[in-house]
Homo-oligomer: A and B are copies of this chain.
Amino acid sequence: MTTTATTLKGQPLDRAAFDSMMRRRMFYTPSFEIYGGVSGLYDYGPPGTSLQSNLLDIWRKHFVLEEDMLEVDCSVLTPHEVFKTSGHVDRFADWMCKDPKFGDILRADHFVEDVLEARLKGDKEARGQTVEEKKKDAKREKKKSKDQQEAVKLDDAVVKEYEEILAKIDNYNGEELGELIKKYDLRVPKSGLQPTPPVAFNLMFQTSIGPSSNLPGYLRPETAQGQFLNFAKLLEFNQGAMPFASASIGKSYRNEISPRAGLLRVREFLMAEIEHFVDPEGGKKHSRFYEVEDIELDLLHRDTQLSGKTTVQKMTIGKAVKDGVVDNETLGYFLARISLFMQKIGIDMSKLRFRQHMANEMAHYACDCWDAELLTSSGWVECVGCADRSAYDLTVHSKHTGKPLLVRQRLEEPRIVQEWDVVIKKKKFGPAFKKDAKAIEAVILATTQEQREKLAKEIEETGKAAIDVPELGKVDVGKDLLAVEYKSRTENVRDYTPNVIEPSFGIGRILFALCEHNYWTRASEGGDEARSVLSFPPATAPTKVLIVPLSSNDKFRPYITKLSQKLRSAKISARVDDSSATIGKRYSRNDELGTPMGITIDFQTVEDGTITLRDRDSTKQVRAEEEKIIAAVRDIVNGDKTWQDIEKELPIFEGQELASR
């Protein structure tokens, strides 16, 4: 499949060739493949695991250490009650429909999107236009045969309607998707029938905790809740200081309806999430915003999408916040920091944009959300969500458990609060109502300010208040038992529930996009199409150096051992390839693994102790004494020098792959 996705060198990216290389080199591989595999589940092989752990290491330094975030590691297994309260049990769902004939289960939004896109493609063919696969916003691949559509010309108005639907496909709820299916008579290609109306399918995996099966639980679909539930302890750990952020790296689980896009839509995935707790008053400023305000981002505004377009605006985050495009400094700060992170790990910055969520698309807890999207062969893919969850989560958990999840702020200037206060005359109240006294009192104390104002009026007018008590009905409480007064009091502290800004990273998606962005073949520089390269930056690359003895000659062995040890004590990850393949083949294999440097040990090494250093991207080599080469490697890995610097400092080595003498 050729898409408009491109390689690092701007050539069209051959997705099939890319996939095949990634699997051959064991970056990732379907889980349980000898058992036929399970869709949406992948294992990472050695280079994938190493790449992942380098990404996490950079992430930790860039976010957690840089800002003294409080990293925690919380349970994946979570009891029902927590997700019931957080709203996930009721609302964390996708819309699912069924082929009425064959029973195949479809994700409703993907189905609508697929059929409309197929029709648009058929229309283009009918109009005799070349059909170029569109850069679409889909996050998954399609089964190719399904999308076959006859070339039928559509009315211009219909084409426009379809395009507008597609631009805001994420904005429809289940009912609206059902209406689209009926209105446009969308049919499942396999059966030729309209699917059943969309129903909600909860995406959480369910299980049962303990031996007696009476504690239902879920695998968490995000790491966030564990951080929220620990808020009070974290605030105490932080010695009460605000604002602060917690962070967590861990697996989450979503029972996707029909995952089929490799690493881009999986059922088990690694997340890295930050919960930044901030005072909602004062505009959610950020003390380090000035450090990032000049950074330019590609922004795709909500309104642009609703008007059926996908044009991005390039602007500095400073201007975006000033103009209200991005709501506040803290949200803006993190968008800029995300952009810097992407740059650091080696993302092609022309393939990054920030897209704002439309109203219906947002998760139930969010009040604003921007996704960092990366362009891949499957279109633009959400890789980081940056949501303003407001005070939603802390409020619902605190309300449900009765435990305060608040910040108590000492006010510099005390403030005067005027409000309605209830006074129960206990001495008479108890004897008057006996066993019902407690229940009646609870209802009175739970009244709102508005209700109290009415009660005060009622008592003034009638001498009593009629209180509606569950299971007792209306109960009259006389003014000798209850007073409701408008009072003023002085507050020295202010209690508030912090708002949460949440940058949430899908590590697997970033890893996949990073591989595509750094992939190219030597053909683009006049070489062999079959020779692929992954040009990861040194900091990200799974292995930094390959050590290649010219042959399996025993003379080379002590040099290999010594060099390995020296690299290890310099904390540079290296691997030896002393297999019997030619040096050229070994370097090729290595280019596919993304190893930036190679060191050859040959007969000249035995004579004069010099070794060669090869640059993966240019395939050029220099030759020098071991110490100089190790210093060069260290400088490149630490980012202090580039290959161009090294080429100027050390003698170029022109010798080809030497035959053994």
Contacts and interface: CB of A to CB of B under 8 A. Distances in A.
Interface string A52-63: 100000000000
Contacts of A48: 73
Given A226-B43, A268-B77, A579 B239 contact: yes
A102 interface: no
A205 B43 contact: no
B234 A207 contact: no
A207 B210 contact: no
A65 B568 contact: yes
Nearest to A201: B211
Interface in A363-410: 397, 401, 403, 405
Contact of A255 (B201, B209, B251, B573): B209
So how many copies of this chain end up in the complex? 2
A41 interface: yes
A465 interface: no
A74 B26 contact: no
Contacts of A4: none
A75 interface: yes
A34 interface: yes
Nearest to A248: B49
Interface stretch (A10-18, A78-86, A523-531): A78-86
Contact of A52 (B73, B79, B226): B73
Q: Is the interface of A mostly helix, strand, loop or mixed?
A: mixed
Interface in A229-264: 229-230, 232-234, 237, 239, 241, 251, 253, 255, 257-258
Interface in A25-56: 25-26, 29, 31-35, 38-39, 41-46, 48-50, 52
B34 A397 contact: yes
Given A35-B81, A206-B207, A268-B77, A43 B72 contact: yes
A504 to B, nearest CB: 18
Contact of A105 (B96, B211, B219): B211
Given A31-B229, A34-B397, 7 more contacts: A25-B237, A31-B75, A38-B79, A65-B568, A105-B212, A239-B577, A251-B251
17 contacts: A26-B233, A26-B234, A26-B237, A34-B401, A35-B81, A35-B229, A38-B79, A43-B72, A43-B73, A44-B73, A45-B70, A46-B70, A50-B71, A96-B211, A105-B212, A205-B207, A210-B255
